Amino acid sequence: DDLGVVWMVRRGRHDLGEMIQMAKEDETTVTKILRLVCWVLLVAAWWMLFSVITTLLSTLPIVKQLGNFAFFLVALILGTSCCCMVTAVAYIRYRPLLAFIIIAIGATIGGVIGWKAGSTAEE
């Protein structure tokens, strides 16, 4: 395998296999941290989009906190769905089975929300 040039400095004596394993672990850790940060940013972005409405709701004290909580839940659901779709699109080329599983999860979340919203609107 051509691994290219790997620049790593570690304390102690390690052979090539250990260094490659440490590099893979570091890469996995950075990937997980970046995914978490991007998910938090997506949820925060959706919540900020709804901040105009929550500002209008702030005229009534009880409705303000209830509205903030409700819009946070909506932002959480939308942010998670967007994160699922972005991850799935990125995975289609390299891991198609995992990508379609993630798309199915996102579509299920969207379908349940649409179904519940439709049944609530009918009542």
Q: Where are the domains of the chain?
A: 43-122
Q: State the average pLDDT for the chain.
A: 86
pTM over 0.75: no
For 20-45, the DSSP string reads: HHHHHHHHHHHHHHHHHHHHHHHHHH
Instruction: Count the residues in the chain.
Output: 123
Give pLDDT tens digits for 58-69: 888 788 888 889
| pLDDT > 70 in the chain, percent | 93
- Whole-number pLDDT of residue 113: 82
Helices (H), 50-95: 51-57, 61-91
Whether residue 83 contacts residue 39, with contact meaning beta carbons closer than 8 Å, is answered with yes
| 64 Cα distance to chain centroid | 27
DSSP secondary structure letter of residue 60: S
| 90 Cα distance to chain centroid | 13
| 85 Cα distance to chain centroid | 9
Whether residue 118 contacts residue 103, with contact meaning beta carbons closer than 8 Å, is answered with no
Give pLDDT tens digits for 25-64: 999 999 999 999 999 999 999 999 998 888 888 888 788 8
What is the C-alpha to C-alpha distance for residues 40 and 49, in angstroms, rounded to an integer? 14
